[in-house]
Amino acid sequence: MKFRNIQTLYQIASLIDAEFIGDADFEILGINEIHVVESGDIVFVDHPKYYDKALNSEATTILINKKVACPEGKALLISDDPFRDFNKITTHFSPFIASKVSIADTAIIGEGTIIQPNVFIGNHVTIGKNCVIHPNVAIYDHSIIGNNVTIHANTVLGADAFYYKNRPEGFDKLLSGGRVVLEDNVDLGASCTIDKGVTGDTTIGKGTKIDNQVHVGHDTVIGEKCLIASQTGIAGCVIIEDEVTIWGQVGTNSGITIGKGAVILGQTGVTKSVAGGKSYFGTPIAESREKLKEMAEIKRFLKDQKKNS
């Protein structure tokens, strides 16, 4: 998430009441999670296991819960609770603004687009030309929809990321300041849920078609011309490359990549990254030919055991 105006290290430190290490005028352009940070961004880290990764990332300001040596060309914000203070920054620069109408005055809707009854369109949403948005669709703030997109009834774009920190008093939510982006010629079936990014975008690429009752987690990027069948659950921070086919009731782990042209057969659990151009099946996932051969061998073995008993 980029700030509308450049901030200084001193300004951000004052906002969250944190000590800082570095030039008070050091420029900060936005905040992001570790997997999408760029130069100018703040990233937060609150566990020693990830200190080195954060300090050596592209982020130029690190919000951290320990005084450490500051890498050259970077700045530190020292906080007793980086998770809490990351939320403070998100709330300040991307506050929740309650809507008073079904279609916000700030929404931009392209020529030829049809909006059916009972659709909610939030603040600063952009919808392209010749789209069809069916009844009871909810499109949360800042979502971006391209041209020739169809969204069927009861689908929700832009719900918060499922991202919590376990504290003694209960689960603490990491606030979401990102967006959902649908590119041109995307179709979404009925009752799909597409969560927005925590600080970046959840993106569905050009020409991808998604069936009913599919969930897409925060910050996931789905490529172009993919087919995703009903009741698939895609976790957060997944990369699905172009022309992937995913059949029904597939589930994925977070942070994995599915390579270009892969086919994931129904009810598979995608427990790890897989290469493109192959067919996969089962839990744990394996190439479908190998998995089916393995299942046949087990069946044969059990049959022999029964015969010999």
pLDDT tens readout for residues 127-139: 999 999 999 999 9
- The mean pLDDT value of the chain amounts to 95
b (16+ CB within 10 A) / e for 174-202: bbbbbbbbbbbbbbbbbbbbbbbbbbbbb
Q: How confident is the model at residue 126 (pLDDT cuts 50, 70, 90)?
A: very high
- For position 295, what pLDDT does the model report? 80
Give the tokens for residue 48: 């020693």
Q: Over 80: is that where the pLDDT of 306 sits?
A: no
Tens digits of residue pLDDT in 27-69 = 999 999 988 899 999 999 999 999 999 999 999 999 999 999 9
Give the tokens for residue 114: 């049809």
Q: Which CATH architecture has domain 108-289?
A: 3 Solenoid (2.160)
Percent of the chain with pLDDT over 70: 100
Q: Over 80: is that where the pLDDT of 94 sits?
A: yes
**Domain range annotation of the chain:** 2-93, 108-289
Q: Which residues are catalytic?
A: 218
- For position 258, what pLDDT does the model report? 98
Residues 6+ apart with CB under 8 A from 150: 131, 132, 134, 186, 187, 188
- For position 261, what pLDDT does the model report? 98
3-state class (DSSP) for residue 25: coil
- Secondary structure of 30-68 in the HEC alphabet? EECCHHHCCCCEEEEECCHHHHHHHHCCCCCEEEECCCC
3-state class (DSSP) for residue 300: helix
Angle between helices 82-93 and 9-16 (to 10 degrees): 110
- For position 217, what pLDDT does the model report? 98
CATH code of 2-93, in short, is 3.40.1390.10
b (16+ CB within 10 A) / e for 2-29: ebeeebbbeebbeebebebbbeeebebb
Residues 6+ apart with CB under 8 A from 5: none
3-state class (DSSP) for residue 269: strand
- For position 74, what pLDDT does the model report? 97
